Amino acid sequence: MDSKKTLAIFSVSAGAGHVRAGEALKVCAERNYPDIHAVHLDLMTIVPALFKKVYADSYIKIVESHPTFWGYLYRHSDRQKADSPLNKLRRAIERLNTRKIDDTLAQLKPDFVICTHFLPAELLSRMIKNKTFFNPVWVQVTDFDIHSMWIHEHMNGYFAANEEVACRMADRGLNPSNIHVTGIPVMPAFSEKLSRQICAAEFGVDPFKKTLLMMSGGAGIGGIEVLAERLLTIKEDFQIIASAGRNQELLEKIKALASHHPGRLFPLGFTTTVERIMALADLVITKPGGLTTSECLAVGLPMIVVSPIPGQEERNSDFLLENGAALKAYDSAGLEYKVRMLLKNPDKLEEMRKKAAALGKPDAANKVLKIVLGE
């Protein structure tokens, strides 16, 4: 008989970050805890297709096409009382469409649960209240911010990105003794010291040139082909790796642009080894998602943040700017100016690198697991 205990990790693919945090916890558990059977499940794989389209897919469309509206929704929902009519209706719709979680829990029989999204945390909170689930549930917040939709009763504990987020969690009514500052989980690979020369050879770039990494996020949000074209007008000796994520149309645009700039622009599609690209970069230009920025901090990679989504990404951006690990560009002209400035001022770039490294928590996943598993 298998004597292993089961750890269930629930995420939601509304954006890539929650899933990446869940996968990081699973991989870390598999590497470091041989007596634990870790299972990671994206809740959107067990809901009706229409609910997934509305809940997860629409999120991407709204933040891409109507970011101001998303910012309004973020702020408005944060002010809603838990028992407001709107929240009651939302929870009723969610319960109706997530009933398969009961069968999933019955099949897995998890001894421990970690939620990297507020939806499974909310569902499990209700189940614990109704005495239909009895084992400990923990919540990993995946931004440098806290929103009221993350706050639920009956959770064994919360994991925060930093001390300020922990303080704000306590202010929202959570027991301070149940709040743990661990950082946001990233893959164990971000703890490894990688060779810039070896990684450069893998991607066909010059290891001795200043290298800018442009990232659009897992869903390929953002017109980075336009920003890359602007940066290529700078005559300094540097190269750009431009990642389109899963966006094939964006990748083709970058490839077309790269054909006019051989040796300077390198297109990249979706990859599961982003740590190897970061190992050869000197600066990343990115949207400030919680997971992407945590990965950058884990390897000491300074950032220029662009187009933060109003709400959680704005809060992430503020944290990075306040701590000197990033600059912010409001438009393509501002981005060009800041890149020019950093290329001409390597001491400033090095200062940002050191501040990013000081904020990095590459061992966050293991810290979370030690607490959850009682090590």
Enumerate domains of the chain plus CATH numbers.
Answer: 5-187+362-372 (3.40.50.2000), 189-359 (3.40.50.2000)
Residue 369 has pLDDT above 60, yes or no: yes
Q: How many CB atoms lie within 10 A of CB 82?
A: 13
Quote the CA–CA distance of 30 and 110 in Å, as a whole number. Answer: 15
Contacts of residue 272, defined as CB under 8 A and 6 or more positions apart, other chains included, come to none
Residue 103 has pLDDT above 80, yes or no: yes
pLDDT reported for residue 331: 87
Quote the CA–CA distance of 246 and 250 in Å, as a whole number. Answer: 9
pLDDT tens digits, residue range 152-163? 999 999 999 999
Percent over 90 (pLDDT), the chain: 75
Residue located via tokens 């890359």: 228
pLDDT reported for residue 324: 97
What distance lies between CA 323 and its chain's CA centroid?
Answer: 19
pLDDT tens digits, residue range 28-44? 999 999 999 999 999 99
Beta strands of the chain (E only): which ranges?
5-11, 36-42, 112-115, 137-140, 157-160, 179-181, 210-215, 238-243, 265-268, 283-286, 303-306, 326-329
In the chain, % helix, strand, coil (3-state, to 5) comes to 50, 15, 35
Residue 113 has pLDDT above 60, yes or no: yes
Q: Residues 126-154: what's their mean pLDDT?
A: 95
pLDDT tens digits, residue range 286-321? 999 999 999 999 999 999 999 888 889 999 999 999
The larger pLDDT score, comparing residue 53 to residue 24, is at 24
Quote the CA–CA distance of 93 and 51 in Å, as a whole number. Answer: 9
The larger pLDDT score, comparing residue 125 to residue 54, is at 125
pLDDT reported for residue 72: 81
Q: Residues 343-361: what's their mean pLDDT?
A: 97
pLDDT tens digits, residue range 196-227? 999 999 999 999 999 999 987 544 445 788 89
Q: Residues 266-292: what's their mean pLDDT?
A: 93
Q: Residues 242-263: what's their mean pLDDT?
A: 91
pLDDT reported for residue 275: 94
